[in-house]
Each structure stands twice: as C-alpha cells, then as structure tokens.
Structure 1
Amino acid sequence: MTNQVLIKSPMQTSIYKQARITRDPRFDGVFFIAVKTTHIFCRSICPANLPHEKNVEYFQHAQQAMNQGYRPCLRCRPDSAPQSYAWKGVETTVNRAMRLLREHNDLTIKDITLKLGISDRYLRQLFAKYLGLSPKQYQVFNKVLFAKKLLHETAMNIENVAHASGFASSRRLQHNFKQITGLTPLQIRKNKVNQNQNLILKLHFRPPFNWHYIQNFLLKRAIDGLETVTADSYSRTFSIDGLKGWFTANYQQGENYLTLEINLPKIEHLSILLSNIERIFDLNADILQIQQQLIKSGIPKDKLIDGIRLPGVWDTFEAGCRAILGQQISVKAAISLLSLLTQTLGDKIADRYYFPTPQAISKSNLEFLKIPKSRKQCLQDFCEYYVTYPNHSPDAWIQIKGIGPWTISYAKMRGMSEPNIWLETDLIIKKQLDRYKIDSTLSSPWRSYLTFQLWSMA
C-alpha cells in the first residue's frame, strides 16, 4: 500500500512545519504528525516536545497514519480532532463514502456502495487512490478512534462503547482496539463515576469560530418549546428512527470545543447524532480557505465575519417546512407559525416539544394556521410527498406546486449544509450585489458562506 503523506511541495511542507512548531489550532485536524522514532501520531496542537523534522511525516487523515502502524497519541488524542475532507468539491464520491462510513458505523461496505450507486471494486479503487487504504480498513480505524473518544470522555461501560462504535460485542472491540493501538480499552479508561444519566462529550473545531454570529442567527429562528438558545448554549429535541431525544451544546469561551449533554434512547445512534450536531454548527469547516475565497470574491476585509459558519437545522424535512412557511413573510412571523405548528401537531414529552412528522402534518387540515389556502396546500402536498419519498433529493420537490428553486436551495443549504448554494434571486442578495462589487463565482465552492455573509451585511 502506498504511503499517502501530505508532502506535495516545499511550500506545503513549510506551512505544516510552521503549524506544528507553533501548535496552530487553525490546522487542527487538517493534517496529522507521525513521529518515526516513537511510532506515535499527533494533532498539530500536541503539547509534547517537538520532534526533529527529519523524524516526522505528515498524513491527511488519522486513519492513514494508523494504516502505516502509528498509534494515536494519548496526550493530544487525535480521536477528538475536528474532521477534515481534502476533496470536497473535487472527489465527491470519496467524500460521501467517508461521511457515510463515519456516520453509519453499523453499515457494511456493501450497504455503502448501494447508497452511493457504485460497485465495491470501484469504491476500493477510489480509496486506494485517494487514501492509500481500503474502505474496510478506514471503517475499522474510524470505529477504533470513535471508541477511544468515548473511553476517554464518558463513563459508558465497555459493552455500550462497543455498540456505539459499531462493534458487535465488547470482545470484537477489545480485539481490534488492542491490535491497532497496542492497548486495551481498560488501559484507556480511567476510573469514572457517572453522576449524570445523560452523556457528556466534547466536539472540537478549528478557530476562528464565531459563536456570537451562529448563536444570534439560531436565536432569531428558534421554535418555541423545541429549541432554547441562551448566550452560551443551544438546546433542541430530535428524532432518529422514531426515537426521541435532546441535546444541549455549550460554548466554552476561550476553548476550541463545544461541550454536549445528550439524552439518547439508543446508543447505536450516537455517531449519527454527533455528525448531525457537527453539521448544525458547521464545526468541520476549513474556515481559513473559506474566508480567503470570500475576500477574493469582493467582500471588504473590514466587513468579513471572522469565523463565519453555516447554521444548520436538523434535517431537510424541517428545513423544507421552514422555507415553505417563511415564504414572503418576516422571520419573526415565520417562527410564530412554526412554533404553532410544532405545539399543535408535534409530540410533547415533559416540557419539550418535538417537530411534527410528515404524517402528522399531511393528515391535518391546518386550520389553525392563519396563512393563505394555497400555502397550506403546498405544505400538505410537501408532507405527503415526503411520506412517500423520504429519501429523494430536494431537487425533486420542484414538481410540488408552490415550491420553487429558492425554497429548494434554502432547504439544501440549511438542512444538508451544502457549501456551494447561491441564492441569486434572494431580494437581500440582489441589493447587496448592487451595493458591493461582488463576483460570486470567485467564492465557489463556498457560495453558501457568501450568502450568509451578504445577509449579515444588510
């Protein structure tokens, strides 16, 4: 297997060398440092004594380093680094496969290829070309890294850690963990007393991260009873496969991570939940590259939102409902409608509301909503379509009367966090383009960020 190191040019080597010497958190998860003398690999922020450059090699992904026999550092913990996708917009199949393998660690490689619509052989060829390892190896390494994170940060028993990580049993976890890291799960696990029945975890991000911007955006659009936004936290309910839970994300001032408190009824859903939370807060954004592209497109440096992110919503269905009810009215009025919809048709457990299902909305006459009849019909038709075709791309919604390109693009931008959505027909965007000399093509593939940047400048 070819050793897929990151050294592609003297300039790039110089950048990574400087980043590791200065322990620059902006490069956390962008690359990993493997030390030949210790056979250990680290994050760019590792506080350990710096090795000589001659003893170092760089990898794009932790799984690549593990494939070459390096063990993850117990001090800086590569398992907790933000994710980084080197081929976003270039090799989308590889990117999608990596995401599916990380989010759905219970799926087989055959399941992944069926979702991608490609053959097993072609997937292996892509992984060999871009990662230097097989899909199966990537999946096992990823499971071990995730298990390591849970062992470090939670008081979950070994059996639950195994199931949350995608292993069939604690025995399979221990076998793979020992083989790859050289340690047993119990050697990682410190004595913990669980004082909270909920799960507590950390999600790291690369700075700059503009919490105030994303907090303010979500606050203005929070659905009463479903979402709660404070100065330093965001809470919401969710449903996965019909099972209901909630999470609270707390921003830690001066730290490059969010602390999560999670109420999750089925531990096997943990990787899906964490991936969605990362998407809602856009924690894995390559923010340095994005900001460079925004400036290149014409955004004045003094207007640039440092650390801008794409604030997401739970899924495309909720994003579609938000977009439909938000057509041609203010944000405040739209949220009032969404809150009424949720509190009328959504389930309530204790004092928490859950967003209504497509089935619940499609069966209602929606008489409690004071909106035009055509808007009600559009929402009902949308929900009926979603009941029948829950996995169709939002692009297919165009056949529903009352749904146009703007609604679809908005749902993809917030419900799927697609980075290159350009709402050129949006009235605010049009006004901003008239005011500033912006060339949107120069911000590609990050035009969604340009959209949010221009909205904020209105």
Structure 2
Amino acid sequence: MQTSIYQQARITRDPRFDGVFFIAVKTTHIFCRPICPANLPHEKNVEYFQHAQQAMSQGYRPCLRCRPDSAPQSYAWKGVETTVHRAMKLLREHHDLTINDITLKLGISDRYLRQLFEKHLGLTPKQYQIFNRILFSKKLLHETAMDIETVAHASGFASSRRLQHNFKKITGLSPLQVRKKKINQNQYLSLKLHFRPPFNWHYIQAFLQKRAISGVEIVETNCYSRTFSIEGCKGWFAATYQPGKNYLLLEINLTKIEHLSLLLSNIERVFDLNADILQIQKQLIKSGIPKNRITDGIRLPGVWDTFEAGLRGILGQQISVKGAISLLSLLTQTLGEKVADKYYFPTPQAIIDSNLEFLKIPMSRKQTIRDFCEYYSCHPNHSPDEWIKIKGIGPWTIAYAKMRGLSEPNIWLQTDLIIKKQLDKYKIDSALSSPWRSYLTFQLWNMA
C-alpha cells in the first residue's frame, strides 16, 4: 500500500510528500526528492527509502538538481522507536557530539544503539552521523558563501581536509565541484528551510504577533525575527515567508558557527516545519471536528525554550494575553541584556538577583517566578513535569510549556476554558486525535 502511494506521489511530484520518502534511481545511482523536476525514470528502475541516509548507505549519491539535503525532515515512524528518534535528533543537532556522548545522554550502551539503528534504519549510528554531516555541508555549499574550512566546522568535521575526504568518498564530487555558482557574501548568513504544504503562515504570524515580547520579537506581514541565546551564544534571526514557495528564507547572525545545526533545528521546531499536517488533520476529523471547520495548515507555534515558555505560563495565569505580554516585555526590558536596539530574554540568574518590585503582581506570583528560576538554574537538564514541585505552578502551566517550549504534539489542555466551551459545542472524542492532541487544542482555539 505504501509503495503504491509513493509511486503516485512520485509521478505527480506531490510536494506534500517532500521529505517523507526519497527515490533512488538504479541506473544513475542518484537519489532524489519526490518533487525533483528531472525526467521520470521507469518504475522498475527505482527503489524507495524513508531517509536520505539510508539511500546513501546503499551507494546512491544525492541529486544536485532537487537537493535532498534541503528536504524537510519527516518523523512519520516516530512512535516505532523513540530512542532511535532521539539519537537521530541529537546527531543532527549536535555535530560536535561523539557516538559515545550520544549513548551517555540516552543512558544506553553503544552496542544497543547500534542494534536499534541497524533494526530500524539498516545502518550504523556512525554511518548516519557521517551521512548527515555530508548532507548538511552540501546544503551550506549550495546556499552560502562560507569558505570550505568554515563549512567543515559547521558540519562537525575537524578540518576542511576531513570534509573533502568524506565528501568525495560519498558523493563522488569535491566540495568545490558542488559549489558551481558564486554566491554573494552578505553581512549575515542566509539559508532556506523547506516545509511540506499546506502551511498556514497567516495563522502563525497572527498568533506570534499577539504574543510578541517587545524588543525581543518583531512580527511583520511576512517576517518574524527575534533574538536568541543558544549554548551560551547570543544572536538573532529573521524568517521570511515566501508566498507561493514551500520554504522560509532565513537571515542569521550567529557568533559560533558550530551551533548552526542546533539553531536551525530549533527554528524548525518554532515554526513546526516538519509536521505531516495532512495526516494530522485527517486524525482530527476522525476525532469529531467537522471537516468544514478545520483550518488548513495550522502548525504548533513554538516558544524559543522551556524557560521562556514557563515564564509566559506563570505570568499569564488568570490574566489576558495582552496583560501577560506587557509584563513579559517589562521583565525583559528591565532585566534582559540590551545590544543596540535589541533585547535578549533575561537569564534565570538575572531574575533571581532582582526583587521584581517593578512588576505589579502579587508577592506570591513573584515568589513563584523566583522559585522557578532557582529550580531552572540548579537543574539545567530537568523535565517541565518536575515543576509541579514549585508552589504556584500547576498542571496547566506545565502542559502549556511542554506544548510550546518543547512542541510536544500530544498535549491536551482539557481544563482550558475555551476548550471546555468548544467541547460542549462539538461532539469531539479527544482520545481519537492522539497522538496529535496539541493540534486539536490549536484548532479548537481557532474555532472559538
């Protein structure tokens, strides 16, 4: 059944399947995205792979025309083996981590990780890591004016020599052969992040604009920009929606290029670019939402991290969105670092060191904020579920932070007042929308 779907998507070049699978052509030893504009090969000459790295492990080279390195990610099989998914995510985001680092983070042995990868992907963790680094370096070579040494470090290679050796071995080309056209060197790094349609930019834009923190975020008609801190490195990015095109154009200011892959992954999460939204919407309709009430292409608009999401949740308790954002903006402009005309969201320590007298909120709420920041500082790798220990933080705040700060897809805010009203109005069985109840939440909010 799946093969027949892939066949139809390949023939029609359906953009909704971009990144869901890849097509390898036996006669040319090249693999492509379903949207590749090249002449269609005969079905007998192709085979299908769910991941680009799997095609590379079989000796196929990435197409220079449709560029599989730029395809959106796909996690359709995520529920099959969450440990594999977590390992893949760590290997993609942290190019500086070794396989041993990954196993330590996951709390498993090297041997068990190899068994999982070979079972679910048909390749070793080391192969996946190298292939992923090659794909990332290929994207940078195509889209940026970085010199080869910088590309190497951004991709996780110790030197340009190691990059060139592995690149030639796997793709059959040198990095300079891939970089055929000269790209003008801009002041800031520019990259594209692709997504599968439908993508409701106008919904995300309106949602984020209403909740934008003054000085940190700027939301315009087709552009969202903000400052950020990642692994202790500060910078900013602007993501511009391209009407009629299935990608966001990024402009990035980043001081440590080694953090680029982690930055891009978090931007993808904030805009929920990797969601297979059509499959999600089908599930929501099964749960009881009338088909004519579904708003096409709604994603999960994320918050930069769980710390920011937690403070948004705490300050937003029992007041309007507008009131909460006013408090967040005041907090940021009082305690956040200012560089030129931009502010950076305050650190936990900056809040701990303040008496918060400028915030016109109850003392109990101020104490909750301080306790939250203390806990965050002392437990940097904790789960938001642990916040229940903090007086003043309840299940709703934790669930909200997980939904927007971690972009967990199956959060159900059943105690939310708007959700309760919508459930009274429509006959909806939320269990039938699992594992996409976060999307059900946003659809019901939008239907109010």
Q: Name the TM-score class by shorter chain.
A: over 0.9
Measure, in 1, the Cα distance between the counterparts of 2:418 and 2:107. 38
Question: Is 1:262 aligned to residue 252 of structure 2?
Answer: yes
How many equivalent pairs are there?
448
Q: Residue 284 of structure 1 is aligned with which of 244, 266, 274? A: 274
Instruction: Tell me which of 408, 428, 441 is aligned to 1:451.
Output: 441
Letter in 1 for 2:112: Y
Q: Could you list the per-position Cα deviations for residues 311-337 of structure 1 after superposition, in whole angstroms to 9, with x for gaps in the alignment?
A: 001100000010000001000000000
Partner of 1:409: 399
Q: Which residue of 2 aligns with 1:62?
A: 52
Q: Letter of the aligned partner of 1:82 in structure 2?
A: P
Q: Which of residues 439, 445, 448 is equivalent to 2:429?
A: 439
Q: Quote the residue 2:193 is aligned against.
A: 203
Deviation at 1:241, TM superposition (A): 2.3
1:28 partner letter: D
What is the RMSD of the two structures over their aligned residues, measured on CA atoms? 0.7
The correspondence for 1:190, drawn from 176, 180, 187, is 180
State the shift of 1:377 in Å.
0.5
Structure 1 residue ranges, 4+ long, deviating more than 3 angstroms after superposition? none
Aligned residue number for residue 372 of structure 1? 362
Identity fraction in percent: 84
Of 198, 214, 219, which residue of structure 2 is paired with 1:224? 214
Q: What is the aligned partner in structure 1 of residue 298 from structure 2? A: 308
The correspondence of residues 171-190 of structure 1 with structure 2, limited to 5 A, is 171-190=161-180
Mapped partners of 1:282, 1:199: distance in 2: 22
Which amino acid letter does the alignment assign opposite residue 205 of structure 1?
Answer: F
- Give yes or no for the alignment of 1:239 onto 2:229: yes
- Residue pairs, 1:25-424, within 5 angstroms: 25-424=15-414
User: What is the SS of the residue equivalent to 1:249?
Assistant: strand
- Whether the aligned pair in 1 keeps the contact of 2:76 and 2:276 (CA below 8 Å) is no
Tell me the distance in 2 between the aligned counterparts of 1:23 and 1:190: 26
Equivalent-residue separation in structure 1 for 2:79 and 2:200 (angstroms):
24
1:22 is matched with which residue?
12
Contact 2:309-2:405 at 8 Å conserved across structures: yes
- Matched position secondary structure for 2:28: coil
- After TM superposition, give the deviation of residue 89 of structure 1 in Å: 2.6
**How far did residue 437 of structure 1 move?**
0.5
How much does 1:191 deviate?
4.2
Q: Is the 8 A contact 2:143 2:183 kept in 1?
A: no
Q: Deviations over 1:160-198 (max 9, x none)?
A: 000000001000000000000000000011342534220
| Contact preservation (8 Å) 1:89, 1:445 | no
Give the TM-score, by structure 2 length. Answer: 0.99
Which amino acid counterpart does residue 309 of structure 1 have in structure 2?
R
**CA separation in 2, counterparts of 1:203 and 1:293?**
26
Provide the C-alpha distance between the structure 2 equivalents of 1:241 and 1:231, rounded to a whole number of angstroms: 30
For residues 258 and 281 of structure 2, what CA distance do their matches in structure 1 show?
A: 36
- Supply the distance in 1 between the matched residues of 2:355 and 2:67 (Cα, whole angstroms): 53
Q: SS of the residue aligned with 1:183?
A: coil
Q: Structure 2: which 5+ runs fail to align?
A: none
Amino acid at match of 1:184: S
Letter in 2 for 1:213: Y
Other structure's SS at 1:33 match: strand
- Helix, strand or coil at the partner of 2:251: strand
CA contact (8 A) 2:388 2:395 kept: yes
Following the alignment from structure 1 to structure 2, what is the Cα–Cα distance between the partners of residues 90 and 438? 27
Q: Distance in 2 between matches of 1:430 and 1:80?
A: 41
Q: How far off its partner does 1:427 sit? A: 1.1
Cα deviation code 1:116-150 (max 9, x no counterpart): 11111111111001000000000000000000000
Structure 1 residue 248: Cα displacement: 0.1
Are residues 30 and 193 of structure 1, via their aligned partners in 2, closer, same or farther at CA, if it must alter by over 3 Å? closer
Deviation at 1:87, TM superposition (A): 2.3
Distance 1:100 1:189 in 2: 28
Check whether the contact 2:144–2:183 (CA below 8 A) recurs between aligned residues: no
AA at the equivalent of 1:30: V
SS in 2 for 1:307: coil
Tell whether the 8 Å contact from 2:216 to 2:343 is kept in structure 1 after alignment: yes
Residues 145 and 185 of structure 2 are in contact (CA less than 8 Å); yes or no, is this contact kept in structure 1? Answer: no
The aligned residue for residue 6 of structure 1 is none
